[in-house]
């Protein structure tokens, strides 16, 4: 079994719950507010590390209190933080989240996450080997992802790219990653095509998540792996839980179908509590 290396954002989520969404120029009263660790990279690292050992995170935080909270939280969740940078005179990333009507709206301010550059990341990858899995998302610079993919190809390291939030993806990156895991909306934007037809073009590589419905991929035929229905408290981080768990299952050499099923199950747990990481499951929960 290899290592899982998550390269991505680490942030603090500032979460407001409301029963009314304000129009432009309008002020409304919310019902509650809390801060909690987030960032798609850190969420995926925590999701993986609750299910497996040997999970590393490569990322950056600011030299502020949020930065310390982010690092402490990663360590408390079994994530190896030796490759996390602390950026002088910079704030940690924040995500400004509104929870409304069983769904979320998110604005991310990357701050220190912009310093997750190719120059800072590539030297840290030299200690990893063929067979390890790198997991990335779109909250760090595009150039970093491109450079890491090239490095990974050269060193036979597998790459799972979760292209969230959506931004354009070069065809060569798409061709070179081992797995691509957009949600339904991101898939349609990336391929400018219906999900089923995109899946057929990328068998066993493209895995599209469909929320509570589960996930789909193509493997000689269309494989629909059903999700698990749970009472929804907060959907934030469900996709991240899916990705972290999928990396763990593939690292355990499960078949793609079994791995997606495992990831669906992990994702279903995550919606049952507040906060991106609040209800991410541990291995004993899934057993």
With contact defined as beta carbons under 8 Å apart, do 126 and 46 qualify? no
Residues 39-78 that bind ligand RIB (CB under 6 A): 39-40, 43
| Residue 234 interacting with ligand RIB (CB under 6 A) | no
Q: How far is the CB of 182 from ligand RIB (least distance, A)?
A: 13
Which is the catalytic residue, given 64, 80, 132, 240?
Answer: 240
Q: 89-108: which residues touch ligand RIB (CB under 6 A)?
A: 95, 106, 108
Helices vs. strands in the chain: H and E counts, helices first: 10, 14
CB contact at 8 A, 62 and 85: no
User: Is 278 a known ligand-binding residue?
Assistant: no
Q: Which residues, 6 or more positions from 87, have their beta carbon under 8 angstroms from its beta carbon?
A: 60, 61, 62, 63, 112, 115
Rounded distance, CA 235 to CA 62, Å? 27
Contact 113, 143 (CB under 8 A): no
Burial environment of residue 141 by CB neighbours within 10 A (0 to 12, 13 to 18, 19 or more):
middle
Active site annotation includes 240: yes
Judge whether 8 is annotated as a binding position: no
Report the DSSP beta bridge partners of residue 248: none
Cα distances (angstroms) measured from residue 235 to each of 112, 175, 194 = 25, 30, 24
11 is in an annotated binding site: yes
Residue (138 or 158) nearer to ligand RIB, CB: 138
Q: Are strands 103-109 and 93-100 parallel, antiparallel or unpaired?
A: antiparallel
273 vs 270: CA distance, rounded Å: 7
Residue 237 as a binder of ligand RIB (CB under 6 A): the answer is yes
Residues 158-217 within binding reach of ligand RIB (CB under 6 A): none
**At a CB cut-off of 8 Å and minimum separation 6, what does 210 contact?**
183, 184, 216, 227
236 in contact with ligand RIB (CB under 6 A): yes
153 binds ligand RIB (CB under 6 A): no
To the nearest whole angstrom, how small is the minimum distance from the Cβ of residue 236 to ligand RIB?
5
From the list 45-53, 54-62, 233-241, 246-254, the region that binds ligand RIB by CB under 6 A is 233-241
The verdict on 13 binding ligand RIB (CB under 6 A) reads yes
Give the residue numbers of the binding site for K(+).
Answer: 234, 236, 270, 273, 275
Which residues are part of the catalytic machinery? 240
Give the residue numbers of the binding site.
Answer: 11-13, 39-43, 139, 183, 209-214, 234, 236, 239-240, 264, 270, 273, 275
The site for ligand RIB (CB under 6 A) is made up of: 11, 13, 38-40, 43, 95, 106, 108, 139, 236-237, 239-240, 276
């Amino acid at each position: 079994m290899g290592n899982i290396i998550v390269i991505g954002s680490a942030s603090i989520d500032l979460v407001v719950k409301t029963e009314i969404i304000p129009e432009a120029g309008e002020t409304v009263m919310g019902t509650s507010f809390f801060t909690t660790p987030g960032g798609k990279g850190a969420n995926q690292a925590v999701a993986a590390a609750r299910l497996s050992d040997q999970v590393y995170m490569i990322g950056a935080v600011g030299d502020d209190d949020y930065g310390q909270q982010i690092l402490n939280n990663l360590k408390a969740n079994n994530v190896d933080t030796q490759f996390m940078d602390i950026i002088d005179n910079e704030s940690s990333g924040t995500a400004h989240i509104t929870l409304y009507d069983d769904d979320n709206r998110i604005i991310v301010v990357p701050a220190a996450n912009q310093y997750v550059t190719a120059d800072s990341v590539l030297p840290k990858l030299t200690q990893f080997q063929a067979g390890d899995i790198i997991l990335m998302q779109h909250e760090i610079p595009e150039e970093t992802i491109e450079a890491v993919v090239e490095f990974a190809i050269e060193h036979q390291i597998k790459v799972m790219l979760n292209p969230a939030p959506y931004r354009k993806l070069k065809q060569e990156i798409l061709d070179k990653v081992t797995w691509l895991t957009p949600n339904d909306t991101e898939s349609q934007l990336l391929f400018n095509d219906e999900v089923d037809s995109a899946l057929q073009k990328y068998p066993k590589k493209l895995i599209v998540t469909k929320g509570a419905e589960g996930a789909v991929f193509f493997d000689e035929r269309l494989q629909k792996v059903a999700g698990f229905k749970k009472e929804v408290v907060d959907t934030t981080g469900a996709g991240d839980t899916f990705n972290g768990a999928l990396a763990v299952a593939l690292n355990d050499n499960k078949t793609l179908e079994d791995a997606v099923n495992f990831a669906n199950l992990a994702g279903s747990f995550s919606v049952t509590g507040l906060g991106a990481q609040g209800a991410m499951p541990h291995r004993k929960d899934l057993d």
